[in-house]
Homo-oligomer: A and B are copies of this chain.
């Protein structure tokens, strides 16, 4: 708890410093320090112009702080989603950890493939196989027990390509953007297809986004009074899928106002971008385009993970900003700065 508090405190100081630097200049165009890892160019300029215009009192585009809601996809937008979503890595590790209690998994698919690390067979099983793995590993315990499992995993698991903790595989320019928006009165939300409870235990420490500003997929939870006191038990039942057309629904359900800015990276974010930018007044839609094969990955229309196809076409029609990773970002990960 103390370590977390200290991190939170340092985070606060960083945010306040950024705020001081950003607010000390008079015009937004003269605030290059707000987004130091962003190259000058059309994308950065569009972001700064938008924030300046909606923040300026008396401007026809002014938006009061209470309505400055910004939503971000997580996988592929705020951090790496390659070579596989972190939640899939979590699921595979959990299957291995639970295998001694399930000798039958050695013979049963999709568990057999998961235990053998045979990702191809797991993915070939489609949504059904993934759901089976999720239910076997995400349900049956209390919410507090599950939180501890996630917390333990995220502090020890390593990214398969870089051998770094997943929480270091975040995009430095996006961390700066989150801080910049908050310094300008925005409330920043994650709206992810991933499970809400696999993000809540670490999102505040890593992104500065508290548990109550997360929207995600969930399984049903049930209140139970035990001898030791009340608990919430996680059931093997889907409650809500926060992906594609589910994202605007999740935004409406949890936030209850239409955002003025949405940032995604794949076709899973298309409806969130449509919903956000169709609102009255000034809105900003943004897409991370993974164009950097050298420093990270390059993928879009034909990728199995994070396919970006329809949303890329619509970006052109709707004037959404396509952030070109290679061109627009000076560094990708925080550790590159060191």
Contacts and interface: CB of A to CB of B under 8 A. Distances in A.
A29 to B, nearest CB: 28
B256 A211 contact: yes
B274 A249 contact: no
A271 B223 contact: yes
B254 A254 contact: yes
A218 interface: yes
Contact of A256 (B196, B223, B246, B255): B196
B257 A232 contact: no
Contacts of A64: 5, 8
A54 interface: no
A196 B249 CA distance: 14
A221 to B, nearest CB: 5
A327 interface: no
Contacts of A218: 253
Contacts of A200: 256
Interface residues of A, number: 37
A222 interface: yes
Contact of A232 (B222, B229, B252, B255): B252
Contact of A223 (B187, B249, B255): B249
Given A8-B64, A64-B5, A256 B225 contact: no
A170 interface: no
Contacts of A256: 196, 200, 211-212, 214
A200 B200 CA distance: 25
Contacts of A249: 221-223, 232
Interface of A: 5, 8, 64, 66, 69, 143, 187, 196, 200, 204, 210-212, 214, 218, 221-223, 225, 229-230, 232, 239, 245-246, 248-249, 252-257, 271, 274-275, 278
Given A8-B66, A223-B249, A232-B275, 4 more contacts: A5-B64, A187-B212, A223-B275, A230-B271
